Every structure is written in structure tokens, then in C-alpha cells.
Amino acid sequence: MGLKEKVADALIADTDEFIVYWDYQKGWSCSETGCESLVREPIREKGMLGLLDIVKDSDRELCSLFLNIMQQGSRDANEFHPLSGKRKEVSLHLRNVDNTYQYYRIECHIQKEQKTGVMDRGWVEIMPLSQEEIYRLNLAESITNDKNPTYFAESAREIMESQLDKRFALVQFDVAKFKVINEQYGEDMGDEILRFFIHTLKVILGKDQLYTRLTADVFMILTAFEEEEDLHALIALIRENLQGYKGIPYTLYFGVCEVKDRTRNLRKYGDGAAFARQSIKGDALNHVMFYRDDMKEQAKIQKLVEDEMEQALEKQEFVMFLQPKYSISQNCIVGAEALVRWIHPVRGLIPPGDFIPLFEKNGFIIKMDQYIWEEACKTVRAWIDAGIQPIPISVNVSRRHMKDGRFVQVLDRLIEKYGIERKYLEIEITETVDQEQTSVGIELLKQHGYMLLMDDFGSGYSSLNTLKDTQFDIIKIDREFLQDFVRSERGQKIVEHTIRMTQEIGLELVAEGVESHEQALFLSQCGCDTAQGYYYAKPMPVEQFNQHL
């Protein structure tokens, strides 16, 4: 008999606790002593699955979850055995022989085969909780709601002070658009999902990993770690076990902030985790963000932007700039792209990067787009009234509009209001990975007779494959694509082939980001005659643009 077998057998023989022993080849066996008041027959017959026969109804969901998680990775799906790497402890109300219920702690221990690393033996200790343990457990339960944040902070402080040699971090997560889940499936289902979260965290987190529910669907965890990979592993474990409750689709977003100074208020680091989490809300690709020191400053800027955006629109602080599109061969303006600039009365010109991404997230981009659409129509009307031959102005349509086809009606009303032809208002759309969302809007625009431009071709998700069935009329070659490829002879061949192939299938081309005479000459030789970029002109106010016309 090996050392590990002797240790396990000694535990079974000499203990006041009820021991359930597991061996992959021999199956289940139980100690004859320990927990004499507990109803033990179902466990003797079924192993740990027998817990379901004696657990209190209020704890049944937690018990089932515990057993399911511990079964993950089993070589035989019908056999229960603890899974390495998961938490191996849970407290449940179990039935005694006198039909009363008592709080018991179920603690799993695992042994692995040294050569193969495969789990081959283990045991489960079942022991009644003392009154002090029950008191502490009930007190700890208050951490899981949003009514007692002080106790979470105090408990977190105790854990960190007891492990001064370890690094700690706060991990915060929530459910994207949880209100939509409540509306679609009902508030009872929303509450059920949150209870599932609480029970799951109770099972999968370790003794020294503290968690709390900050608000309805926002949870926060204090955890020790050594390397950043440990935090990623924890988040992966949480996502794996929390996703897709009863087949309901939802997305979890995580923010992480390391506790670097244990003497400071823990709330500071909770705010950091919140900043990180909120910075990626709505991002389809990134669901985890680590806090950086510059995030708080970014949050201040965003707060100022959101506080002033409505008023700025009313006061016309948002100004339409136009960037000319030139015919390379004729060296004259043949079109323009409408861009927005924010001229703040105090802070001056605010860069688009400071407000456009935020407007995309909070939905204000819908009002902003419609404002620029009208400014473009108004400008074309002014040219006609002044006897100036109008040129097409291309305007951007955000993906936000694509969720609701009514944006086309807004465009139609503006065309009618200002009495201009549709050919003078071109529509630019960035082709993205979410083609299903944009396809309906694109179809509507084509039906209503608008000229469509695919913006940023060659970047992100757009590729030659998108041209096969595209409904776009004009392709705009992305600035980065052009800059990267014209530097080498092989890259120039790719650009030349792309231009030629695009024209052969009946699409027009505009090259963005043209910055030199050499680039313009190269594009012209390849057959692309329309370009925009700093070589010709930067974006400018309408009055200055009119002088160029």
C-alpha cells in the first residue's frame, strides 16, 4: 500500500467526521463513524449524488450546482468525483435522522496519479458546523447583497492583512444590457439568473476569495494572485460557469484593478475596476480590461462630454467640416466628405476621438449624424441658390442607425425639405464584422436610391471577399492600407491588382490618406483617379471650402 493510500485510510479509520472515500477502480466507500445524527444511507448507496436525497429544498439548487461543477472533467459522466482546480467546499442544510435539518460543511480532497496527473482517488469530509461557524456563515451571507458594503471592505482587509506576501486585485463584472433580459424574459427570470450567479460564485471561489454584489447585476471579487495569468484564469473560470443560464444569451464584462496600497480605502480600487469595466461596455471583441492610471482622467473627460453634449448641439458648437475629394488627372474638386468638429467656447477645438467613440456607446451619435446630414443638405441647397455647380457630399451613417430602418425616412425627409437630388448626398458606411446588422440598412438605402460608399476598405474586417456580393457603389481605400502597401514593390502590386479588379466588377474607387505627389501619381497610373488626403487639403469649414470651389 502506497503512502497516499495509507493517509486516506487512516483518515477514514480515525475521525469523528463522516468520510466518503472515492477510488476510481473500487468506487465509493464510507466510514462507519462520524455525524451519527445525519441520514447517511443515500450517500452509502449513491455516493455524493445521495446528497440530493437529504438536502433541504432551499439548498437543492446550490447542491446540484456543486455536484455538477465537481463532475466537470470526469472520465465517466455517470460517476461523481471532485475536479482538480475547482473549489472543493460548500455548506448545506442536510437532513438528520430525526427529520430536522442541520448545517454541514462538505469538503472534497483530491489525489492525482503522480505519473499521469489523472485523478484516481479522493475523499469527501462531511462535518456539522459549530454555532460560531454558522454565525460567521450567516454574517458572510450579507456580503452577497448590496446592503452591507462595509462588511465586505472589513473582511477584505482582514484577508489581505493575513497574507502580506501575496498580491491582491478586485475583479468586477456585470451583465451587458441586463434590463433587456428583464424586459424580454421577465424580472423573475432576471432574479433567478442573479441567484444562479451567487450560488455559482459560492461554489467555484476559494476560501480566501471574497465576493459581493454591488448592485443588481454588478459583482465584485477580491482575489489573491501571483501573475496576471492567474487573474485571466479566474475570469475564464467564472465565464465558463456563469454563461448561458437556461440557454439565455448574455455577455459578461470584467474590469480588474490591482490593490497596490493596502492602507488606502478599498473603494478607490473598486472604482478603478469599475472604470476598466465600463470602458469596454458594448465592445464586441474585448470583454476584459485591466485598470490603467490614465483611465480616471479619461473618465473625467467623458463625464464632461456627456454633461455638455445636448447643450452643445442646441448651441451649434458642433460644426460640419468638409474634406475635398480631388480628381487626380484634372486636379479639381469632385466631391467632399462631411466631418464633425466640436468648437467648445472654453476648451476650443475638441478632437473627434474624445467624443465620437463615446457618442457611439451612449447613442448620442444618432442625433449627431442627423445634424450633420441636415448641414450637408443645407450646404448643397446653398450652392444651388448661389449658382455654384453642386458636388456630392458624403455623410457617415453609424452602425447604431442600422438597428432601425427609420433612419432612411429621416434622409428622405431632408432631401425633400431642401429640394436636392439624391446623388448629391452620398452615404458612407464602414464595413464591419457585423454584416447581418448592416445588411438590412444597406438594402433600404439602395431601394431608396442612395449612392453607397464602403469606408475603410482594406482595414479591420473588410476584404476582397466582401466585394463578391456587395451592394456598395464606391470603395474607399483605407489610409493605412495605402500607406503600408505602397512602400514595397510587392505591396504596390497588391494595390494595383485591387484597383483593377474593383473597377472590372463595376465599382468606383476613392483613395483616402493621400499625402504625397508620388502616391497620387502611383494611384493615377493604377487607374484610381479620385483621392482625398492632406496632399490636397485638410478638412475645413464650409466657408473656406467654398473658396476652393
Could you give all domains of the chain from N- to C-terminal order, each with its CATH number?
3-129 (3.30.450.20), 135-292 (3.30.70.270), 301-548 (3.20.20.450)
Q: Given this model, what pLDDT does residue 86 score?
A: 46
- Separation of first and last alpha carbons in the chain: 95
Average pLDDT taken over every residue of the chain? 84
- Give CA torsion, residues 77, 83, 85, 89, to 10 deg: 130
Model confidence pLDDT, tens digit, residues 184-238:
899 889 988 988 898 888 888 877 788 888 888 899 999 999 999 999 999 998 9
Q: Could you tell me the CA-to-CA distances from 257 to 280, 457, 518 in Å, in that order?
A: 14, 37, 48
CA–CA dist 231, 223 (Å, integer):
8
Q: Given this model, what pLDDT does residue 495 score?
A: 83
Model confidence pLDDT, tens digit, residues 23-80:
767 777 888 788 889 998 998 888 888 999 999 998 888 888 888 776 654 444 334 4
Yes or no: say if 454 and 462 are a contact pair by the CB < 8 Å rule: yes
Give 312 or 486, the one with higher predicted confidence.
312
Question: Which segment of 107-111, 332-336, 375-379 scores lowest on mean pLDDT?
Answer: 107-111
Model confidence pLDDT, tens digit, residues 284-316:
678 999 998 877 777 777 888 889 999 999 999
pLDDT at residue 390 tops 70 = yes
Closest Cα partner for 102 from 124, 126, 129? 129
Look up residue 516 and give its three cell numbers. Answer: 504625397
Give 543 or 469, the one with higher predicted confidence.
543
Band (344; pLDDT cuts 50, 70, 90):
very high
Yes or no: say if 69 and 30 are a contact pair by the CB < 8 Å rule: no
* Backbone dihedral angles phi then psi of residue 214, each to the nearest 5 degrees: -75, -50
Sorted by sequence, the CB contacts under 8 Å of residue 513 that are 6+ apart come out as 478, 479, 480, 482, 483, 532, 533, 534
Give 503 or 160, the one with higher predicted confidence.
160
* Backbone dihedral angles phi then psi of residue 476, each to the nearest 5 degrees: -100, 115
Percent of the chain with pLDDT over 90: 40
Q: Given this model, what pLDDT does residue 89 score?
A: 77
Q: CB 296: neighbour CB atoms within 10 A?
A: 13
Task: Count Cα atoms within 13 angstroms, Cβ side, for 259.
Answer: 25
Model confidence pLDDT, tens digit, residues 495-529:
888 888 888 888 899 999 999 999 899 899 888 99
Cα–Cα–Cα angle for 301, 302, 308, rounded to 5 degrees: 95
